[in-house]
């Protein structure tokens, strides 16, 4: 009885602490949209957008917030109905398992208080997820699979080239069929155990970023303290990812990790959500040398939509960032990487993607280039590299 009372007291205290801490991470405060829908663009831009066969985005954190993605929401940036409204074929749903309080682009300690723990408790997740990063990761993976199962064949979890081809074929006759993939934002989610690479692979994960906002057992973050490259454990994780067919996502990685991964990977890499230093000089953004090395390896770079990645005003700088990558290494290496629902303020939600087409059109991008940026590059990259 005494143990039960102590357990209940601990539970109550943790819940009170969570309630006290979580307001700074409430979604309505963190995932704001500057311009609310509906969105209007020129007739020419809208016509081009409506004719796009495959629209794709490389980064969205919607699974973090506990929303039912099968229902159209009045907060955040992405859900299945809004994907359909925007004619988006494929979204990369990324999993955030830990994020330091006071996170910033410059420097964060791995020992900082984790803001995902109170969010996990307040959302009513299982106590097994409260203090286990890999359990949180597997739980969010399961959530996406369950959401897709509720769609009665209208949503496909893409884990293989065959799954992707099934999505492409299905959309030829029914544009309401949508696809999702799973990624992990920061390999601290593996909890230092190489066996967890296989566990998350079995759960459907096909992309992992070595680091997020802080250093971990794989090496240094672009926003961490050490600036280190891959550790021996980090190298073993990258090798296992290559063997299984999990893409390495270099967003948030230290420059040293970027170099180490590009030196050793046997597969092209993804940078799922980033800016470029030529447009905004930030620790999270890519230098021209890094862009060239990533392209030389056959990689693809997703341009993010928020000010800390592209600068303000966001929309012209999103286009300028896309243009810079195109001019430097060619159109086939650039894509959309919004960072929707990533605790960032964006200029428009997913239904505002025609605004990107308008911007590309105004900057003189050809029809083929617009198609490439809006999703064809992602489709071709995945067809070439998914197993």
Report the candidate in 136, 117, 97 with the shortest Cα–Cα distance to residue 19.
117
- Which is it for strands 205-209 and 270-274: parallel, antiparallel or unpaired? unpaired
> Looking at residue 17, what is its pLDDT?
53
* Predicted pLDDT of residue 30: 84
Number of C-beta neighbours around residue 353 at 10 A: 24
Report the C-alpha gap between 387 and 383 in whole angstroms. 9
Task: Specify the residue for token string 């991964």.
Answer: 261
Opening angle at CA 55, ends 371 and 353, nearest 5: 90
DSSP 63-114: GGGT--TTS--SSSS--HHHHHHTT--EEEEEE----BTT--SS---TTSPB
Strands (E), 198-295: 205-209, 247-248, 270-274
Average pLDDT, the chain: 93
- Phi, psi for residue 13 in degrees, rounded to 5: -65, -40
Distance between CA atoms of 279 and 298, rounded to whole angstroms?
23
pLDDT tens string 34-66: 999 999 999 999 999 999 999 999 999 999 999
pLDDT at 8: 45
Q: Which residues pair with 346 in a beta bridge?
A: 33
Q: What local confidence, expressed as pLDDT, does residue 26 receive?
A: 66
Q: Which of 37, 80, 52 is nearest to 352 (CA)?
A: 37
Q: Whose structure tokens read 């800016």?
A: 275
CB of 27 closer than 8 Å to CB of 339 = no
pLDDT digits (tens, 9 = 90+) for 75-126: 999 999 999 999 999 999 999 999 988 778 788 888 888 889 888 988 889 8
State how far the Cα of 379 lies from the Cα of 160, in Å rounded to an integer: 12
State yes or no: pLDDT of 3 exceeds 90: no
Interatomic CA distance for residues 81 and 71, integer angstroms: 7
SS3 content of the chain, % helix, strand, coil (to 5): 45, 15, 40
- How far from 138 is each of 133, 195, 199, CA to CA, in Å? 9, 14, 8
Closest CA to 120 of 135, 130, 132, 134: 130
- Predicted confidence (pLDDT) per residue in 140-189, tens digit: 999 999 999 999 999 999 999 999 999 999 999 999 999 999 999 999 99
CA 69 to chain centre: 16
Would the pLDDT of 24 be above 50? no
| Count of all residues that appear for the chain in the document | 387
pLDDT in tens, 273-318: 999 999 999 999 999 999 999 999 999 999 999 999 999 999 999 9
pLDDT in the model for residue 200: 98
Alpha-carbon distance 232 to 325, whole Å? 32
Q: For residues 200 and 138, what is the distance between their CA atoms, to the nearest angstrom?
A: 7
**Quick check: 47 and 32 in contact, CB under 8 A?**
no
What is the C-alpha separation between 25 and 82, in angstroms, rounded? 23
% of the chain beyond a pLDDT of 70: 93
Distance CA 48, CA 362 (A): 13
**Residue 106 near residue 96 (C-beta atoms within 8 A):** no
| E strand or H helix that includes residue 118 | helix 116-122
Tokens linked to 47? 């016509």
pLDDT in tens, 321-366: 999 999 999 999 999 999 999 999 999 999 999 999 999 999 999 9
pLDDT in tens, 221-266: 989 899 999 999 999 999 999 999 999 999 999 999 999 999 999 9
Q: Where are the beta strands (DSSP E) in the chain?
A: 56-60, 90-95, 155-157, 178-185, 205-209, 247-248, 270-274, 300-303, 334-336
Cβ atoms < 10 Å from Cβ of 350: 24
Q: Hunting for tokens 């830990």 — which residue is that?
A: 98
């Amino acid at each position: 009885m005494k143990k039960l009372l102590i357990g209940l007291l601990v539970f109550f205290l943790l819940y009170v602490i969570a309630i006290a801490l979580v307001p700074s991470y409430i979604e309505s405060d963190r995932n704001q949209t500057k311009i609310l829908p509906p969105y209007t663009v020129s007739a020419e831009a809208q016509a081009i957008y409506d004719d796009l066969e495959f629209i794709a985005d490389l980064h969205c954190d919607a699974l973090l917030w506990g929303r039912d993605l099968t229902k159209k929401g009045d907060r955040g940036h992405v859900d299945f109905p809004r994907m359909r409204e925007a004619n988006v074929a494929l979204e990369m749903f990324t999993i955030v398992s830990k994020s330091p309080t006071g996170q910033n682009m410059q420097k964060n300690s791995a020992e900082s208080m984790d803001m995902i723990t109170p969010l996990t408790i307040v959302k009513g997740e299982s106590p097994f997820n409260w203090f286990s990063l890999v359990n949180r990761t597997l739980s969010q993976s399961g959530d996406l699979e369950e959401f897709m199962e509720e769609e009665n064949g209208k949503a496909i979890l893409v884990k293989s080239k065959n799954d992707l081809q099934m999505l492409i074929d299905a959309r030829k006759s029914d544009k309401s069929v949508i696809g999702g993939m799973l990624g992990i934002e920061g390999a601290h989610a593996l909890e230092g155990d190489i066996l967890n690479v296989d566990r998350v692979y079995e759960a459907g994960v096909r992309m992992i970023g070595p680091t997020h906002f802080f250093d971990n057992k794989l090496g240094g973050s672009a926003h961490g303290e050490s600036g280190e490259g891959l550790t021996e454990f980090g190298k073993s994780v990258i090798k296992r990812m290559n063997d299984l067919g999990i893409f390495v996502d270099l967003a948030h990685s230290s420059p040293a990790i970027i170099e180490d991964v590009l030196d050793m990977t046997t597969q092209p890499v993804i940078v799922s959500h980033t800016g470029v230093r030529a447009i905004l000089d930030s620790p999270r953004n890519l230098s021209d040398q890094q862009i060239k090395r990533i392209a030389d390896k056959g990689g693809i770079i997703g341009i993010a939509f928020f000010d800390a990645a592209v600068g303000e005003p966001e929309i012209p700088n999103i286009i300028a960032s896309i243009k810079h990558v195109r001019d430097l290494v060619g159109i086939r290496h650039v894509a959309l990487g919004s960072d929707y629902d990533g605790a960032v303020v964006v200029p428009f939600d997913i239904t505002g993607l025609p605004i990107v087409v308008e911007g590309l059109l105004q900057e003189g991008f050809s029809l083929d280039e617009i198609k490439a940026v809006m999703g064809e590059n992602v489709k071709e990259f995945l067809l070439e590299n998914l197993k």
